[in-house]
Structure 1
Amino acid sequence: MAIALPELPYARTALEPHLSAATLEAHLAHHRACVEAVNRLLEGTGLEELPLEDVVRRARGRLFEQAAQAWNHGFYWSCLSPRGGGEPVGELAALRIRRGGGFGHSREEFNRLALGLAGSGWAWLVQRPDGSLGLTAGPGAATPLTGADVPLLACDLWEHAWWLDRHDDRARYLEAFWQVVDWKAANARLR
């Protein structure tokens, strides 16, 4: 089964002024290249019939990198919404309060991790196996799919996600990211 490029769940201009259509176009081109690379690299591996999530969990080397990037990007699109922003809702909000420090503290910690990552990668809000929330960031194709955490929210820290709009200012990109975060989608992923 060939891995397909998922449709963007909103118009390319829907996240403006926070994320421009030009940035989404560049970002989608990168996502498309990852999907195409996965399909080429899958040939002859015995993993061809698996869904992308399982390919990520089982692959190694270049296939893993491309599959994880393809999955991470598809997940990232589902973390954003033209009606996003604000603060967490529902059970996610309750878990944040129980964690201590409230949303403002968690957002600062997330930003600290994202800004502290040297080079390209991903920052994540995850649910730990014990039900608690956690924050993590990792380089390259880092993804929670390879562990026990459930991904709730992803922030792409590769340059194609922010360079056209923010140039070398990742902090300004993070400010824009928080304006379009889809908390309802993150809440729905809780287990």
Structure 2
Amino acid sequence: MESLYRALCGEDQECLRETRETSRFLSELDQIAKSLEVHVDKSPAQYVIESIDVERLRREAEGRGVPRQLVDYVVRRALYFRFGGGGVGGRCKNCGDPASLVVLKREDLGIYERQRTVARCVCGSEWEFEMWRCPNCGTQGRDSFDVYIYSDVYILSCKKCGYKFGMIEEKPDLHVMHFYIHILRWTLPSGDT
């Protein structure tokens, strides 16, 4: 995790100190997200976010002291806590967004081990996914990506559409790491993220 912190902060000691407190901060935001009242206000749609009053949730989150820059993140987490995870048409069933992280999960099958690939939205939703496939445009193949490496974190940039997403092996602090990978994607050379 330290390499990810340094990729974001460089040698700025105050920034490094604050990033090390992220786990506690995200836990506090999750408590707010879990307490938001999420109601399906409109007729069912392809993605949950299209069936709720997002503006009402944003106002409720702001009223509970959530910083404006993080309100949409808290709303997305609230959808995940209320409706669970999964994907629809290669996108998050809650948010409708493409995955911002691909997680390689090891499965012990007794005699041997295999690796499953799952896509993950920053809200926490996960769904089965193909390795070396762009979550945004569907382009496939290892040669379709520029790869940036930060220790055990890979940021892939699709050569076709410019979308950037992370790829890592499953970790115990996955949600915190995903939060920073989501931010780190914006610091790389231009393209759609």
TM-score normalised according to structure 1 size: 0.27
For CA contacts below 8 A with separation 6 or more, give which structure has more relative contact order: 1
> Which has more radius of gyration?
2
TM-score normalised according to structure 2 size: 0.27
